[in-house]
């Protein structure tokens, strides 16, 4: 979860009606932390990203196509984006938006149970685990 001042950075495929957290997949031999920092450099650019805290974990299953499902386990870490970096994506098919923490409830963020966990963490600082 990217924190930029008092805002959270959300991502979406251009023209989509829903959002997700920036990040990506862990490659063979990577730790979650190394994967996160690699993804940030690939998606935003070089920077001195500061991992602040473990936020939580969220299990999700969603359809990829008719009869084919993807099972994912999201590991959420809070990362502060340095003030000298404007969080703009380097990838053509996605876009970032900056949302005030208090406004997250007004956005369609998937998976829904992840959105609920993030909002809980922002107010309590207690890590969460959201199951299917």
User: pLDDT tens, 71-118?
Assistant: 999 999 999 888 777 777 878 888 999 999 999 999 999 999 999 999
pTM above 0.75, yes or no: yes
Residue 107 has a pLDDT of 97
Tens digits of residue pLDDT in 32-41: 999 999 988 8
Whole-angstrom Cα distance, residue 14 to residue 18?
A: 10
pLDDT mean across residues, the chain: 91
Residue 48 has a pLDDT of 83
> Where are the chain's structural domains?
2-130
Residue 24 has a pLDDT of 85
- Third-level CATH fold of 2-130: Nucleoside Triphosphate Pyrophosphohydrolase (3.90.79)
Q: Tokens 């920036």 correspond to what residue?
A: 22
Q: How confident is the model at residue 55 (pLDDT cuts 50, 70, 90)?
A: very high
Residue 82 has a pLDDT of 80
């Amino acid at each position: 979860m990217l924190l930029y001042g008092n805002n959270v950075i959300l991502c979406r495929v251009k023209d989509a009606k829903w959002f997700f957290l920036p990040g990506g997949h862990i490659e063979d031999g990577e730790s979650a932390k190394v994967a996160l920092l690699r993804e940030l450099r690939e998606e935003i650019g070089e920077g001195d990203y500061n991992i602040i805290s473990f936020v939580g974990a969220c299990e999700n299953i969603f359809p990829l196509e008719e009869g084919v499902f993807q099972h994912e386990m999201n590991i959420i870490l809070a990362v502060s984006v340095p003030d000298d970096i404007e969080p703009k994506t380097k990838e053509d098919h996605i876009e970032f938006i900056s949302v005030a923490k208090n406004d997250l409830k007004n956005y369609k963020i998937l998976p829904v149970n992840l959105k609920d966990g993030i909002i809980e963490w922002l107010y309590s600082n207690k890590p969460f685990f959201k199951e299917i």
